[in-house]
Amino acid sequence: MKKNKHNFEKLIKDRNQLFFILGPCVIESRDHILFMAENLKKLSEELDFQLIFKSSFDKANRTSIKSYRGPGLEEGLRILQAVKEKFELPLLTDIHKPDQAAVAAEVIDVLQIPAFLCRQTDLVVAAGETGKFVNVKKGQFLDPEDVEHIAKKIESTGNHNIILTERGHKFGYNNLVSDMRSIPIMQNINGHYPVVFDATHSAQMPGGSKTTGGCREYIPHLSRAAVAAGCDGIFMEIHDNPSSAKSDRATQYPFSKVKPLLKQLIKISQITRSTN
């Protein structure tokens, strides 16, 4: 398998090509993660895009106490380290507590702050202090302008490796709405940081039952709109068999359908960037 020919750090900072953050929601097993990483790496080489592989060692904000959370920090990082060694991919994972930041940074290239935790100062600062890229998911309860305060917390550590992610806004009961104006608004915050659109979590329908639901069928529409609006990257959770996934079954996108969608998004991005 080819080495990853892109310099992902330079690409993110230059913002001259659409990049993708793809992978299963949560680590279900070592074999499954390696299988998904291998197939997503092959796809990135075929379509020539920058892939950042994502999966979570812990989903600490599950709706039910009985829901699967993942293998935990230690085992999860061992599995993700295997992905890095075998496929030479940059990695992204969530952290939930300040003391996880430095430990995860030994393996992970992009530390992600979950939307529910985006205003937790100690967590955000700890991530910034690692010097790694920090991807902040905008909370469902925040306006895009409010993300400026979160970016400033990371900047206070001297770290300007910041990515901001739109993932929908809570609107009424059990529904999320994506306002594409948030993309250019957040791109103009504190030095024009890259903005990612989270296509899968934006399709969620949170609450109202024992598990979070969603409308997977709208993922292509939302992601096409976000790329046309000028986002710098697309975040999309991918699973080979979403109906059997241990987390977010309703919104993980099937690997069997992702190739034509990514081809569309790349073409839209080329058009959008050529006219700006």
State the residue for tokens 């080819």: 2
Helix (H) or strand (E) holding 201: none
Task: Return the CATH architecture of domain 20-274.
Answer: Alpha-Beta Barrel (3.20)
pLDDT under 70: residue ranges of the chain: 1-6, 62-63, 207-212, 276
> What is the pLDDT at residue 275?
76
Supply the pTM of this predicted model.
0.93
pLDDT digits (tens, 9 = 90+) for 75-88: 999 999 999 999 99
Who contacts 243 (Cβ-Cβ below 8 Å, separation ≥6)?
249
pLDDT digits (tens, 9 = 90+) for 194-241: 999 999 998 877 765 555 677 889 999 999 999 999 999 999 999 999
> What is the pLDDT at residue 211?
56
> What is the pLDDT at residue 251?
85
> What is the pLDDT at residue 8?
86
Full DSSP string of 146-196: GHHHHHHHHHTTT---EEEEE--EE-SSS-EE--TTHHHHHHTSTTT--EE
